[in-house]
Structure 1
Amino acid sequence: MKLSRNTLALALLGVLAAPAAHAEVAIDVIHDSEVSFEGLVQADANWYNEDKAFLGANSNDGVDHDFDMRRAELVLKGKGPGNYDWVLGYDAKANKWLDVNAKYKLGGDANKFIQIGQFKMPNSLEELSSTKNNDFIAKASITNTFGVSRRLGGQFSYGDTNWSVTGAYFERELTRNLAHGNGYGLRGTWAPINDGDNIVHLGLSYVDLDTDTDTIRLRARPLADLAGTRLVDTGATGIRNSDREAVLGLEGLWAHGPFKLQGEYMKASVDRYDTGFAAQPGSSFDADGYYISGVWNITGEKFGYKAGVPTTPLPANPASGMFQLGLRYDHIDLDDGSLTPGATPTSAPTVNGVLGGRQNAWTIGANWYWHSNFKFMLNYVKVDSSRYIGKTSATYSADPALNNKTFNAVVDDNPDIIEARVQFYW
C-alpha cells in the first residue's frame, strides 16, 4: 500500500476545498461497534543555513532546502461492543502501520485496561502525546533517538485520573524490516495537583530490549525531520558487540492555565559482550540527553491532562483560532570515550570507546490552530554540535574546501534552520 506524492497532494487539496470538517467522521454502527474515521496530513518545508555539513535530504545536490509530505495518516476507530475499543491506523507517506490493536477496559474504566496489538510503548511523555498537537515541528532529540515507539505486544495499565502504572511486553514492529528486538517497558505517573487550572505531572519509565543484532547505531538529526544528515552519530559500524539496550526516562510537567512547562531526561545504556575487539571492548556504552520547553497559549485557552499526558485545547474562538508561542532547549550526548594523541604530531589519535558527538539546540516556535482542523507551524532552530570526525568525508560540503578531507579532529558544526508545517486533521 503506497500513495504517490501527487495523490497525497490532490487529497489534501480536496479536503481543504471541502466544507469545514469535524474532529472525527462517524461512519456507522457495525456489529455494536461505533466506527469512525480520522486522518492527519502534514506538509513540511525546511530551509538550511549550513555551517559545514550538507543537510539536504538528497546528498550533495546543492539544494539548501527541502519540501515534502511528512505524514498522511488514515485511522479507523471503533468503540464497542461493550468495553472493547479497537483501532486500525496506516501512514500512507511512510508506508507503515500505526496503531493496530484492541483494548478491553476493565469495568468500562478508560484508566484500567488490557491492550493487545501494535501501540506506543509506555515511555516518553512527548512520544505518547498526540502527534497532531506536537508543540514543535520536530520532536526532541532524545525522543527520536532513545524512545521506543510502536511495537507489537501486550500491555496492562491500572490507575485513575491522577496516577497510573503500565507494563508492556513487545516484539518487532508490525511493518516488516522496521524496528525489531523483543523487550519490556514500564511507566508510572503521578499528578499530585490536577484541579483544572493547575497541573503537576511526574513520571518515570524504563525500557529494556534486545538489540537483535551485534551492532546498534544511535544518531540524531539537527531537529529537522527532512534533513538527510545527522550531526551526531555513533557511526555506520555502530556500537559493536551490543547485546541489550536499556533506557531510563524521567519526565515532568507543570501547566497553569494557558502556560505549560515540560521536560524530560533519558539515559540509554547498551550492554556489550567482550569478543577481544580492542577498540570497543565488552564494557557498556552510555548516552543521555534532555529537553525543557515552555508553551504559551496567547489567546488564553487552558491546557488539559488525560491518561498521563497533557492535552491541547481547541480554539476558544474557532474563526480566529488559537495562537501559541514556544521555546525549547534540547541536548543530546552520544560520547562515551576519549582520544589518545598519536605518536607524532601528524599521526591520527586513537579513539577509546565510542565518540558519537554532542548536540545542543534552541527552538523558537509559533503555532496557529485555525478552526478545529487546521494548524500552521513556524520554527527557528539554532544548532551547536561537536563530533570527532576521523575519516575522509564527502558530507562536509557546505564549504567546498572541506570536500573529501581527512579530519582526524573534533569538528564543530553550528547551522541554523527555518521550518514550516501545514497540517490538516479530522
Structure 2
Amino acid sequence: MKLSRSTLSVALLAALVAPAAHAEIAFDVIGGSEISFEGLVQADYNDFNNDFANLNGDAPDGKSSDNEMRRAELVLKGKGPGNIEWVLGYDAKADKWLDVNAKYKLGGNANHFFQLGQFKQPNSLEELSSTKNNDFISKSMVTNTFGIARRLGAAYRYGDNNWGVTGSFFTRELTEHPAPTPHGPGYGVRGNWAPINDKGSILHLGLSYVDYDTFQDTVRLRARPDADLAGQRLVDTGNMTNADRQKTIGGEAMWVTGPVKLQGEYMKTSVDRYNNGNALQSKDFDGDSWYVSGLWNITGETWGYKDGVPTTPLPDEPGRGMWQVGLRFDTMDLNDGTVIPGATPTAASRIDGVLGGEMDTWTLGVNWYWRSNFKFMLNYVKVDSSKYFIRTPAAPYADNPANNNVLVNRVVDDNPDILEARVQLYW
C-alpha cells in the first residue's frame, strides 16, 4: 500500500487532533483467559539524495522519494487460565503472522517458562525490544542482516529480573516465503545479565549464538543503507552456493543513567561451505557488523528493564510528551576475499572468495512520544559505502566453468544521504 504526501499529511493531522486512548484495550475474560487487544500502525516517508545507485528505483533522476504504510499490526493477547499466556499477532501490511505462541510459566515466575509456537529467537537486543519503541526508524544493519527474528519452535528460559538464559530450537517462519527462504532449522541460545538494575541506573550485558542449516544450500547477505524504503542494497554478497550451515555469535551492552541510554551490539557470522570441485566458490565466509548509539530523553524520563531488554516509559507530562534525540554509528563488512588479477593489464580480474562490500552510516534522530499512543520520528542518515563492481560474463571461463564472476577493475563508492520520517499510532 502506497501513501501519497497528502495522505500522510491527513494521517498526521488526524493523529494530532485524535483523543488519547489507553495503551491496551481489554476485551473480556473467556475460558479463564483475560483477553486484550493491541495494535501498531506506522507510515514512513524517505527522501533520497542519491549518489551512484538510485535508491528509489521509481525515478530516473538523481533525487527521489518514497512513502509507504510500514506496518499494520493487530495482536490479541491472553493471560490464563492458570500460568498460561498466549499471543496471536498478524501484520496486515506485510500479510504475515507475527507472534503466535503459548507460554507456560513454571511456578508463576515470568522469567521461568516454556514457550511453543512462533516467537522472536534469543538473539539481538534491538530485535527483541519492542518495535514501537525503536530508537531509530530503521533498525541497524547488524540486526536486519544477521539477526534471527520470528521462527516456529520451542524455547526454555530460566532466570530472574537481573539475569536469564534462554535456549530454543527453531525451524522456518510460519508465513511461507518464495524460495529460497532465509533460514533452515537450527538452535539458538542467549544469556543476559544486569549487574546494575535500579531505577534510572541500568547496566546490561548479553551474549548470543545461533546455528542453523541453510535452505537449498544457498546464503545471501545484504543490507539497505539504514532506510527501510530503499530499493537498493549497497552491500551484497550475492548468492553464496555450496553453503552448509550459518553460525552467528553476538555481543550486546547497554548502559542507562537517568535520561541517557548508550547501547551497542556486535555480530560475526560464518557460512560453512563444502567443496564441489570449485575452490573459488567453496571458501568459508566470515562477515561482521556492529553499531553504537546514544539516546537522550530531553524531558527527563528514564528507562526500565524487563526480560533482558529495555522498556520505554510513557511521557511524564502527556500533553507535552517525551522528546528524545539520538545518534548512531552503524557499520558492516561483507568482504572476505581477494582479487586475482587478469593475465594482462586489460584483462578482467576474478574473485577468490566473496567481496560483498563495506558500509558505514551515521544516523541523527529526533523522536516525540505524544500522550499514550502517538510517536513521531525524524532521521537524517549519512552513508559511506564501497563495493567492487562485478558482472557475469556471457561465457564462463574455460579453465573453471563454474566460476562465472568477472570483476571490472574498479571500486564503486556510493555515499548518499537520506531524510526519513515516521508517523506511528499504537494502543
Q: Return the TM-score normalized by structure 2.
A: 0.92
Show the counterpart of 1:319: 319
* Shift in Å, 1:311: 1.0
**What is the match of residue 150 of structure 1?**
150
Quote how far apart the aligned CAs of 1:18 are: 5.0
Counterpart residue number, 2:46: 46
Match of 2:368 in 1: 368
Please, which moves more after superposition, 171-180 or 38-47? 171-180
Aligned residues: 408
- Is 1:233 matched up with 2:261? no
Describe the SS at the equivalent of 1:279. helix
Q: How does 1:189-204 map to 2 (within 5 A)?
A: 189-204=192-207
2:2–2:68 Cα contact (<8 Å) kept = no
Instruction: Name the CA shift for 1:14/1:328 in 2 (closer, same or farther; >3 Å).
Output: closer
Q: Which residue of 2 aligns with 1:119?
A: 119
What's the counterpart of residue 172 of structure 1? 172
For structure 1, list consecutive stretches of 5 or more residues without a partner in the other structure: 394-405
Letter in structure 1 aligned against 2:192: T
2:260 aligns with 259
The match for 2:402 is none
1:327-338, aligned counterparts within 5 Å? 327-338=327-338
Gaps of 5+ in 2: 394-406
Could you say which residue in structure 1 is the equivalent of 2:136? 136
Compared with structure 1, are the counterparts of its residues 25 and 170 closer, same or farther at alpha carbon in structure 2 (3 Å cutoff)?
same
Structure 1 residues 110 and 15, CA gap change in structure 2 (3 angstroms): farther
Q: Distance in 2 between matches of 1:46 and 1:196?
A: 37
Cα shift at 1:19: 3.1
Query: What residue identity is the alignment partner of 2:64?
Result: D
**Residue 389 (structure 1) aligned with residue 392 (structure 2):** no
Cα deviation, residue 58, structure 1: 3.6
CA-to-partner distance for each residue in 1:308-354, whole Å, 9 max, x for gaps?
00111110000010000000000100000011222222211121100
- By how many angstroms is 1:15 displaced? 7.7
Where do 1:270-419 residues align within 5 Å?
270-281=271-282, 283-391=283-391, 407-419=408-420
- RMSD (CA atoms): 2.2
Q: What is the CA-CA distance between 1:392 and the residue it aligns to?
A: 7.8
Matched residue SS, 2:144: helix
Q: How many Å apart are 1:197 and its aligned residue?
A: 2.2
Which stretch of structure 1 is more off in the superposition, 15-24 or 293-302? 15-24
Partners of 2:75 and 2:90 within 8 A in 1? yes
The 1-side partners of 2:231 and 2:124 are apart by 24
Q: Show the counterpart of 1:188.
A: 191
Deviation at 1:62, TM superposition (A): 7.0
Alpha-carbon contact 1:47-1:418 (below 8 Å) kept: yes
The verdict on how the C-alpha distance between 1:91 and 1:370 changes in structure 2, with shifts beyond 3 A counting, is same
Change (3 A) 1:57 1:162: farther
Structure 1 partner of 2:403:
none
> Alpha-carbon deviations, 1:375-394, whole Å to 9, x = none?
0000000000010112289x
In the TM superposition, what whole-angstrom CA distance separates every residue of 1:97-133 from its partner, at most 9, and x where no partner exists? 0000000111111111110000000000000000000
In structure 2, distance between residues paired with 1:106 and 1:322: 37
Structure-2 change in CA distance of 1:48 and 1:152 (3 Å)? same
- Contact 2:49–2:62 (8 Å) recurs in 1: no
Is the 1:392–1:407 Cα contact (8 Å) retained in structure 2?
no
Normalised to the residue count of structure 1, the TM-score between the two structures is 0.92
Local SS of the residue matching 1:239: coil
Q: For residue 424 of structure 2, what is the aligned residue in structure 1?
A: 423
Answer yes or no: is the 8 Å Cα contact 1:12–1:41 preserved in 2. Answer: no
State the partner residue of 2:222: 219
User: What is the one-letter code of the residue matched to 2:321?
Assistant: G
